[in-house]
Structure 1
Amino acid sequence: MRQTSRPSLLSAALLAIGCLLAACHSVPPPAPVPATGLVLHIAHINDHHSNLEPLPDFELRLDGVPTRVEAGGFPRLTALFKASSGLPNLLKIHAGDAMTGTLYHTLYNGEADAALMNTVCFDVFELGNHEFDEGDAGLRRFLDHLRQGPCRTTVLAANVEPAIGSPLAPASANDYLQPYLVRQFGDIGVGIVGIEVRGKTMNSSRPLPSTRFHDEVETAQRMIDELRERGIRHIVLVTHQGYEADKAMAARLSDVDVIIGGDSHTLLGDFSAIGIAAAAGPYPTVVRNRDGDPVCIGQAWEYAKIFGLMAVRFDQRGAVASCGGSLTLPLGDDFRQPDRSGTFVAVNAAARQRILAALQGSGARSVAPDPLAQAELARYASRLDDMKRQRIGTASESLCLVRVPGEATNRSGGVSGCENANQLARGSDIAQAVAEAYRQASRLADFALQNGGGIRTPLPRGEVTYGTAYTVLPYTNVLYELQLTGRQLAEVLEDAVGNHLDDGGSDGSHPYAAGLRWHLDLRQPRGSRFSRIEVRARDRDAWQAIDPERSYTVVTSDYLATGGDGYATLARINQAGRSVNTYLSYTQTFVDYLQARGTVARPPAADYSHQRVIGRDGKPLP
């Protein structure tokens, strides 16, 4: 980062930020802004994905000791936004993907998210790709809820062009979406331009075919040029395209000063003192634009866990002189650490004080939720228990849970229709249904992959409720789409079975699939267990043998995509950049599948992934 030639100004501004975030009893007045420059403060979040409640068991590591505590939650973010409200020249920004991911979205279709966002009153909200998950009409419903509050947040998307007469442009192109906003700070104007990720939104969400998405870089430069012609010297891009794309875009643009981004759920900054070492870069990240001037880039992780606050000082030309700031991970004060048996228990008062002292300077600190936001959240939370009892579909027959066909334990014992499920070649009915839900949710996947252990209970015959679905699939997994060859696919399947037969790992790794089937011989050595692997690709109606050289798309959970349960080949593919995180909740995907079908049953015999299984004893399973 370039050092400013006038360090006292930025230092004073950052001191004011630190005092505000530490909830000082008295806040010194901010440093005066000289006539020759502007200090712009930007408070921002992104990708909260309907995560309104705090995470109950967030784990830190303090002096080597695992420590669990409640973390994040929208009311704590609101408290931090309000604490920053005394800063001069303040912008409040949400960089997209407010929706999709928890029961709050499922039940309230954006209403709860809008209500909590309106406790902040963002200046701008940039559309994320998941804002289009329920089409243009679903997005309009959310934006209508956002408009019902007092805030009048400007919704940005310069490169999104809805057709006139469609839900987002009933009368004119800018009924709901604006290309940019100009905020005046005294006699200085700041232009804020919104850019949506193009390909991902078109391919993995559900916008109307008539809604056009334009090139991100070309649109951004056109908007910047338009603002410059209006005499606006200070340009902030609010993007939803990912951290790496933001850095690449900055180098191709002239006159851009700041990029506040989302989409990649990137953690920046240094949180190593609390055991979080996965940061992708510094906060802010400073790169150069096409003119050679600095560009300050920021992103604030995910799921209402991080609050970003950036300070940018401009020189008299309107170019960035320097930037700084901080990221805050807001915590509760319910710290728990393991006792001698390994059970996490509440710490005593002395340990609590040591923990609070250890957190100083770490980027994490205890923050009390904003009372008004907490009350708003409680209003919506009260209906969730009722929702869990709501019917979402019917199982016409029991879908049995099996990990490995032929296993000794019947995991579906006591479920009518599953009396001998563990001894059948077909294996897990419920894993097949979940995989099919993944495949239908993806607009690109040829087949879907699910591990047997990722599903926790069978699905008994009869009524299916939200609560049932979230018991079957209780984790917070999301779906990834990965590109792989037929040869790599065979390696993935061998990884999955080898994990429990050869490597001593969990048998929860055992694979199930939709749109993919095979013969399996558990007697054979690794590399020879799978044969007659066939795929019913997205563009084909018939089953065909896997082509070792052809490229296919698989949709699966993030757990498997990142190498969980021994899926090492998938991890290498993901690390090589041949994957896309859709951020679709795996449980919500199954809920949507049930609601769309009404009734769910076991698939036809020809569609089961296990077409023939020879057990470890050499006997074919029926």
Structure 2
Amino acid sequence: MPLNACLTGFAKPIASSQIVFATDRGSATVLGVRTAETNGGNLLADSFLHAYSTRAAGANLPAAGSANPVVALQNGGGIRQNGGVTLPTTGAAGAISRGNTFDLLPFDNRLVAITSVSAADIKETLERSCSVGTSGGGQFLQVAGMKVTCSRAGTAIVVSNPTGDSYAGNVTTVGTRVKDVTLLDGRALVKDGAVVANAPAVTVVTNTFTADGGDNYPTLAKLVKVGFGVSYEQALYDYLLSFPKNAAGLPEIPSSDVRYSKTTGDGRFTWLP
């Protein structure tokens, strides 16, 4: 039957990893994608940057570079645990199948780019991410292309409930949890809680759910989007295929990749008390 053939195909390995990626939801006591940086969240956010690098020209978007810094955002709620709480799903180094990537990223979320996003809009967006309590929330963002520091001692942003057909409400209390946001080239967008004057605008790559205001993100919802025509799962699939092949002929993430070698990630997000 066609369905069985499809499922058989999805079970075949497409890549391999010497690293185990943390993809659990998380809680006040368990590391997870809805509470803090994880290497699994980093992998997914990095796949968005890879998608931009390979598809921007086809979407008439400028190349990433110093004149066009590109960052990526993936909401923790869009990362699911249908196949388990790790990737590979066995909890050990090994094969990754297409079925695994669909289990992890099952929604019909498409990649979009939002160009010329100001540092103020980046800060307000990250304030929404950092408004989560210690038990986490689906709006917590896994990031790439920048380093972010937030403090729970600050005031959490408050956004009113959406009305009508809108995904997002309006900011009713300004957040003060975002302390620092720095691009990978060292340029600061936010320093000591304040937006940096003359900070560069950036391009944000994210999924359609978050871009349209899902999880109550009012800032992104107001901005213009350019679609890539691929799903967030396709972005991960393509990224996995980009790694060098092992002796068995499968693309493999090596244990030496410092972006992912630690379960807690490479330090691109920091929670302060």
The aligned residue for residue 523 of structure 1 is 153
2:225 to 556, 570, 579: 579
2:164 is the counterpart of 1:532 = no
Q: Could you list the per-position Cα deviations for residues 168-201 of structure 1 after superposition, in whole angstroms to 9, with x for gaps in the alignment?
A: xxxxxxxxxxxxxxxxxxxxxxxxxxxxxxxxxx
2:217 to 567, 579, 595: 567
2:130 is the counterpart of 1:513 = no
Alpha-carbon distance in structure 2 between the residues aligned to 1:570 and 1:466:
30
Return the TM-score normalized by structure 1.
Answer: 0.32
Cα displacement (A) at 1:403: 5.0
2:259 to 598, 603, 608: 603
Unaligned runs of 5+ in 1: 1-377, 411-420, 537-541
Q: Secondary structure at the match of 2:143?
A: strand
**Matching of residues 69-218 of structure 1 within 5 Å:** none
1:390 to 12, 16, 32: 12
**Distance verdict in 2 for CA 1:548–1:560, change over 3 Å:** farther
The answer to whether the Cα contact below 8 Å between 1:515 and 1:607 also exists between their aligned partners in 2 is no
Cα displacement (A) at 1:506: 7.2
Moved over 3 A (4+): 604-608
Cα displacement (A) at 1:586: 0.7
The answer to whether the Cα contact below 8 Å between 1:512 and 1:609 also exists between their aligned partners in 2 is no
2:239 is the counterpart of 1:593 = yes
Q: Could you list the per-position Cα deviations for residues 137-158 of structure 1 after superposition, in whole angstroms to 9, with x for gaps in the alignment?
A: xxxxxxxxxxxxxxxxxxxxxx
The answer to whether the Cα contact below 8 Å between 2:23 and 2:41 also exists between their aligned partners in 1 is yes
Alpha-carbon distance in structure 2 between the residues aligned to 1:401 and 1:459:
7
Q: Secondary structure at the match of 2:130?
A: helix
The aligned residue for residue 130 of structure 2 is 497
**Distance verdict in 2 for CA 1:608–1:433, change over 3 Å:** farther
2:36 is the counterpart of 1:408 = no
2:40 to 412, 419, 430: 430
The answer to whether the Cα contact below 8 Å between 1:403 and 1:427 also exists between their aligned partners in 2 is no
2:79 is the counterpart of 1:481 = no
2:76 is the counterpart of 1:452 = yes
The answer to whether the Cα contact below 8 Å between 2:75 and 2:140 also exists between their aligned partners in 1 is yes
Q: Which of structures 1 and 2 has the larger relative contact order (alpha carbons within 8 angstroms, sep 6+)?
A: 2
The answer to whether the Cα contact below 8 Å between 2:146 and 2:268 also exists between their aligned partners in 1 is yes
Q: Could you list the per-position Cα deviations for residues 483-516 of structure 1 after superposition, in whole angstroms to 9, with x for gaps in the alignment?
A: 2111110111012233x44xxx970111111111
Cα displacement (A) at 1:472: 0.9
Larger Rg: 1
**Matching of residues 605-620 of structure 1 within 5 Å:** 607-610=266-269, 612-614=270-272, 618=273
User: What one-letter code is carried by the residue in structure 2 that aligns with 1:475?
Assistant: F
User: What one-letter code is carried by the residue in structure 2 that aligns with 1:544?
Assistant: R
The answer to whether the Cα contact below 8 Å between 1:402 and 1:427 also exists between their aligned partners in 2 is no
Alpha-carbon distance in structure 2 between the residues aligned to 1:476 and 1:488:
26
Q: Secondary structure at the match of 1:439?
A: helix
User: What one-letter code is carried by the residue in structure 2 that aligns with 1:384?
Assistant: C
More helix by share: 1
CA RMSD of aligned residues (A): 2.7
Q: Secondary structure at the match of 2:242?
A: helix
**Distance verdict in 2 for CA 1:613–1:552, change over 3 Å:** same
